[in-house]
Chains A and B, each alone.
Chain A
């Protein structure tokens, strides 16, 4: 037992070191040009003097353009020709920080930005020293004045650039109104003062509503109407400014990214990448676009012309007469060219091309080679084609050729395509060191799991085969996207295997339990349809969150509360007098219920009127905060009471501590679960009680079988709760329970617990199951021995091998098309599983509970 513990204590940190080496090589900061674009002497005249850049977070294209949208004024701007609409394709990861980088610098994003987006305190992502269209305003002879109101990500990216600002934290996703009022309250004075050149507004309400209630949330139409009114207010200002002091103002309305059908974003699905984009000004009417609005809703979210989101950057720079930012790979939007004469158009595009050519020369050495056969090159690969086109553009009489604008666009589009595909420079040696280290350690762990644990041939065979298949499956991009199928499939296989074993010992009870478990599994797999292919198709969660099922949902939630109450009553407060036990177990449950109820009301979910009536109606951020704190406090009190009562208990009951701690932990897990997912806990409880019964039949169950079941249920419950291997499904809606300000550790822990509630549940349940098995089989081994030798060895071996496989996949497939959209998120999830679930929960907390329960 002790040597086993020491070996895991040796393997875990070393594997983490290997992972660190790998990550350092795999996620390098993308090489960017520092410094600024040269000031061009001969730029076409500026069309606009001022820019209002209004970002509405997660403003998907259909929110503005479709006939189901409530943004009537904005649509009237399009049909009257005063605005040019586009669908701007956002490059994944579709989260705010990388997208803001994209729409300001024009560069493709770095995957690590997606992580830094969550680690809000990080300052390494700042854009100090990098060129952007904002900085270009500051570099004018008379530096421009910049103001910013909204998401504080802008302040983090551009420290000390804004003359006036008011940042809002973007992570209180339960707040729909305050975040936007914080922005709007500045508008009156700012529009009055009007001394700025650039005003940036970043509204977060739409994104928050999406996270809470999805794109069709009842709050969405009103919020979009509010945004529409702000567009109207800004447009009227632009009209007035034009008339009074002759200053032309460009209003840009855009979403930083879209959202998928359940209101999340981060991945690369059509809905997440389709952001709305609108250039508006009274000046546009003379271009005569002749577009109509609104359009009929489409499934692919493509409205009007589809452009790349980075194209915003050169377009704004060109329209205000600034040079194009150094790292920009955006292409000037063709529709906007019509402001200039033909010669100015060519001049502008040529500057765009020259700027992009600087990046090409830096990235591809072959760009510098002299061109001998331009025609031959045009038939070659993309780089050759770019060289051929660039040669044509450089010819002395280029401007007089048939269609110079067309040639310039061909060059720009192809260059953009090639540059956005180019992956960052990996540090291969660092990756190899990490990979070798993890390979060595994981093979050690795997061998130990097979040969140094207790005897059980069948489980070991299933484990070895299953782990191998899993490791291989990681190399297929769609198998990563649809990983849940692997787990549902192997869970049924494992239950079937146990069923055959139970038939061999003629245990009818065990057979019936396994059939029931299969039944629970088949409900779980339809609770959330996750992954890519069938994501968003009708499932139990959608049914439960629909209006007609609100009553059923809350009956199920009440039922789960009742079970928690019963368990607390019997297993935590068993020793005290009935009245005290009732009050003590009722208090945490009722505070949990009222917290969940207020949260649901705050999020605009439909709640049965009877239940809403008995809950105090004074909702609001403060109220919610207090209720969450009350819940947490009651959990702490329960835990303290339980520990003390175990210490002082006269009866010797080895299960008492571990069992009570488990039920208190479930209370905490439910606090961290959204209302639609609370009924899953009924299924978890069913699996738990069935498994515990199974563990009592020692002829069918072995410690290793318990561990393998735990491992499988952990994964099944993770996916059944709606998680996936895409960053889009990270649920942050419970990450701020009871926390009033952003601080990494509590928010991180709460976010982890709310996403890994199922796996944590089954770790604790599995630990308990081992003690039940020990008692029923009258084994001479201690629970600690079983836990360390069997549980930790097997769980650790699985996670080590899966880490190795994911690292291997990222290494081998590093030039794969999906490396940033599928494999990198998978690596991040694997790190979460490996370090937090396996390292912190399975190993540290599990060991703690086992050891403490033995001491008490």
Chain B
């Protein structure tokens, strides 16, 4: 299989995909054209500040209550920044390709899918050292937040096929804010675990406060970097 190296020009001139392997994905990179993008860029730092100040009191409650709000912000964000509807997914198996759907259904599908993948993210957290037998609701809600931050935009931006996702894992996919935000979320969550074992005896050192904080900050930074980079590519 040939290595796919997408240039921004290729993305900017969409052509109907003949087969999934020939043109495996079609990221929508209409950033940061409208005002809503920049307001979305602002939304997450604000959510981060609010969440991190409230979290230590009762992480499970705050994470639970804020989940719909975060989902809404993300959905609005995606709806307005993915104006050109593209086929989301080649659904599993050899079924014939579905018709192009509008952005709304793409977003809803992405939201449902990312929520369904939450247990999988929970498993990944455990593999990376999250508590197994205790704080299960907290870890699960953390996974749900991570799914919304990292998976949801990617599911709405990239098609669901092996090659695309291999490239995403291999850090070879073209830069989009959705992708850099996901990478930022992962790196932030990973770095967020650092202060937990320290003996500072602060209330926010409980699981998973710092990880949530790291994920949100990483997400915002990643989004910013992605917006700048993909904007630059567009100008080239």
Contact = CB atoms under 8 A, between A and B. Distances in A.
A531 B126 contact: no
A525 B166 CA distance: 29
A485 interface: yes
Interface string A485-518: 1001100110000011001101000000001001
For the complex, would chain B's binding face be called helix, strand, loop or mixed by DSSP majority? loop
Nearest to A483: B197
Interface in B127-183: 127-129, 132, 166-167, 169-172
Nearest to A485: B197
B190 A493 contact: yes
A522 B197 contact: no
B203 interface: no
B128 A492 contact: yes
Given A522-B128, A522-B129, A489 B193 contact: yes
B98 to A, nearest CB: 27
Contact of B171 (A493, A500, A532): A500
A715 to B, nearest CB: 15
Interface in B2-21: none
A41 B1 CA distance: 100
B42 interface: no
Interface in B82-138: 126-129, 132
B198 interface: yes
Interface size grouping (class) on chain B: 20 to 34
B197 A482 contact: yes
A499 B168 CA distance: 12
Interface string A523-539: 00110000111100000
Given A500-B169, A504-B170, A506-B166, A522 B198 contact: no
B199 interface: yes
Contacts of B166: 503, 506
A481 B172 CA distance: 39
A632 B200 CA distance: 48
Given A499-B169, A503-B166, A492 B127 contact: yes
A519 interface: yes
A267 to B, nearest CB: 14
Contacts of B127: 492, 515, 518-519, 521-522
Contacts of B196: 485
Interface string B175-217: 0000000000000001001101111100000000000000000
A503 B197 contact: no
Nearest to B132: A526
Contacts of A489: 129, 190, 193-194
A533 B197 contact: yes
A416 interface: no
Contacts of A526: 132
B85 to A, nearest CB: 29
Contacts of B167: 503
Interface in A464-498: 476-479, 481-482, 485, 488-489, 492-493
Contacts of B171: 500, 504
Given A477-B199, A504-B172, A522 B126 contact: yes
Contacts of A534: 197
Nearest to A504: B170
A166 to B, nearest CB: 45
Contact of B199 (A518, A521, A532): A532
A492 B199 contact: no
A416 B105 CA distance: 75
A506 B129 CA distance: 26
B150 to A, nearest CB: 14
Given A500-B171, A506-B166, A525 B197 contact: no
B199 A533 contact: yes
Given A500-B169, A503-B170, A488 B129 contact: yes
B199 A503 contact: no
Contacts of A504: 170-172
A500 B198 contact: no
Contacts of A493: 190
Most buried by A among B128, B132, B169, B198: B128
A478 B199 contact: yes
A71 B1 CA distance: 77
Nearest to B126: A522
A482 B198 contact: yes
B156 to A, nearest CB: 22
B129 A478 contact: no
A518 B128 contact: yes
Contacts of B194: 489
B203 to A, nearest CB: 15
A531 B169 contact: no
A493 B167 CA distance: 19
A763 B166 CA distance: 33
A697 to B, nearest CB: 15
A479 B128 contact: no
| Closest 7 pairs between A and B when the two form their complex, measured CB to CB | A503-B170, A478-B199, A482-B197, A503-B169, A504-B170, A518-B127, A478-B198
Interface of A: 476-479, 481-482, 485, 488-489, 492-493, 499-500, 503-504, 506, 515, 518-519, 521-522, 525-526, 531-534
21 contacts: A476-B198, A478-B198, A478-B200, A479-B197, A489-B129, A489-B190, A489-B193, A492-B127, A500-B169, A503-B167, A503-B170, A504-B170, A506-B170, A515-B127, A518-B127, A518-B128, A522-B126, A522-B129, A525-B129, A532-B199, A533-B197
